[in-house]
Amino acid sequence: MPALPTATATSIGSLPLGDLLAWTAIAAFVVAMVLEWRELVDPARYLAAGAWVVFGVFWLTMVPHYYLEVKSPIQTLLTLAALPLSVYAGYLLVQGRESLLVLSNAVAFMGLIYLPAETVPLVRTWLIETTAAQTHFGMELFGYSPGIVEGSNGYMSKFAFDPNETVTGRTTYIVMSCTGIGSMAIFGGLIAAVDAPLKRKVTPFLLSIGVIWFLNLVRNVFIGLASPWGWFQQDVFVYVVTELMGAPADRTSYLVAHNFIAQALSIVALLGITYLVVRLLPEVFDPLEEVLYILTGTEYDLADALGTEGPGDSTAAASAARSKTGDD
């Protein structure tokens, strides 16, 4: 699933439109979550429904960014699909599907993790520049040491390869979406939202964050070396990038590495991490089943489909074991 992008240039007052929509949606999700905790379920449903609509509009405003700037087919399609899916989620809530509140709560927690990192300058700077330093260290392990200079985004995050020595003459720099915070926020939100003891949430949380951090570092090193050294400048790739995507030929290796290989493998990695998390915390099946219901209109029992214990199975098994041994 993609990280939240930097807001679009359109602004209302001094606040970018993307930031305004994102903060509005997350604030509404948080208030709905509080209402549910106070057992005001109906108001929570209606407020969460409105939050989903705003959330969908936010993603719609990101379509030009992904299509024109990032040139990512996968992310463009996902952002286009976000509005109708979000509106449908809101519709289901209005129609009385209370179980969707757990997914709404997960989005609230995701936003509380991600938005401060995106919008607080001190946190944003630390994340970007720390990721750049770690990526540079990874490059050094493979014998490359370009150094780090200030990038066009104003952070010390650009890898200073000499354009006269590389194949494409290009280089890369770290931006917010390269830090992995978006994926971390997704799993942090899912784990935080479900009803389970805190001690059972710690291990899957640390595992997911650690795996995301490592794989994200590998991804950054891969893209950071593929772009300047022209690992994918073969004619077939150049044709696709120049003729079908309208990008310059020297961006071919970057776009193939970033937009196709890395993003496709990221989906596989997220599915793998999800499997590990639900093995440790089966309660996460609940919001995932809600996602599938939104997508297909069909109820699923993922625990049964994957042959794992559901949220209530471990409790029942433990109770049965105690009854056999006399432990209470």
Query: For residue range 236-274, what is the model confidence (pLDDT) as tens digits?
Result: 999 999 998 889 999 999 999 999 999 999 999 999 999
Predicted structure pTM score: 0.85
Domain boundary among 80, 102, 119: 119
When pLDDT is averaged across residues 38-49 and rounded to a whole number, the result is: 97
Evaluate whether 242 touches 272 at the Cβ level (below 8 Å).
no
**pLDDT computed for residue 305 by the predictor:** 81
Per mean pLDDT, which of 56-65, 73-82, 128-137 is the most reliable? 128-137
Q: How far apart are CA 13 and CA 222, in angstroms?
A: 40
Could you tell me which residue, 304 or 271, shows the higher pLDDT? 271
Q: Which of 85, 119, 153 is the last residue of a domain?
A: 119
Q: Does the structure show a pLDDT above 70 at 3?
A: no
Strand residue runs (E) in the chain: 11-12, 15-16, 148-150, 156-159
Within this chain, do residues 136 and 269 fall inside the same structural domain, yes or no?
A: yes
* Same domain, yes or no: 136 and 241: yes
The question of whether 322 is a catalytic residue gets the answer no
Structural domain containing residue 290? 120-328
- Single out the catalytic residue among 200, 219, 251, 322: 219
Following DSSP, what letter does each residue of 111-176 receive, concatenated? HHHHHHHHH-HHHHHHHHHHHHHHHHHHHHHTT----EEE-TTSSEEEE---TTTSSSS---B--G
Per-residue pLDDT, 189: 97
The pLDDT of residue 147 is 97
CA angle 112, 118, 123 (to 5 degrees): 95
- Say if residue 96 is in the same domain as residue 188: no
| Residue 70 scores a pLDDT above 90 | no
Per cent of the chain over pLDDT 90 is 77
**Mean per-residue pLDDT of the chain:** 89
Report the pLDDT value the prediction gives residue 16, as an integer from 0 to 100. 81
Q: What is residue 179's predicted lDDT score, i.e. its pLDDT? A: 96
Provide mean pLDDT across the span 60-85.
Answer: 88
What does the pLDDT average to over 282-303? Answer: 94
State the DSSP H helix or E strand holding residue 99, giving kind and residue range, or none if neither: none
Please tell me the least confidently modeled range out of 59-68, 120-129, 179-188, 191-200: 59-68
Same structural domain for residues 233 and 291?
yes
> Does 326 have pLDDT greater than 80?
no
pLDDT of residue 10: 53
From 64, 90, 119, the end of a domain falls on: 119
Q: Do 275 and 171 fall into the same domain?
A: yes
Q: How many domains would you assign to the chain?
A: 2
Q: Is 178 a catalytic residue?
A: yes
- Are residues 185 and 292 located together in one domain of the fold? yes
| 294 and 205 assigned to the same domain | yes
Whether residues 21 and 150 fall in one domain = no
- Residue 174's nearest CA partner among 155, 161, 193 is 155
- Is 131 found in the same domain as 267? yes
Residue 315's pLDDT is: 45
pLDDT for position 8: 43
- Indicate whether 196 and 288 sit together in one domain: yes
Give the model's confidence band at 15: pLDDT under 50 very low, under 70 low, under 90 confident, else very high: low
Q: Considering only 64-68, 69-73, 236-240, which range has the smallest mean pLDDT?
A: 69-73
Residue 295 has pLDDT above 80, yes or no: yes
Is 50 exceeded by the pLDDT of residue 316?
no
**323 pLDDT above the threshold of 50:** no
Question: In whole angstroms, what is the distance from residue 54 CA to residue 48 CA?
Answer: 10
Q: Is the pLDDT of residue 1 over 50?
A: no
> What is the per-residue pLDDT for 273?
97
Please tell me which residue in 38, 178, 200, 279 is annotated as part of the active site: 178
Helix axes 198-229, 263-280, angle to 10 degrees: 170
* Mean pLDDT computed over 174-178: 94
Looking at the fold, whether 112 and 221 belong to one and the same domain comes out as: no
Residue range 110-116: mean pLDDT, rounded: 94
Per-residue model confidence (pLDDT) at position 314: 46
| One domain, residues 132 and 108 | no
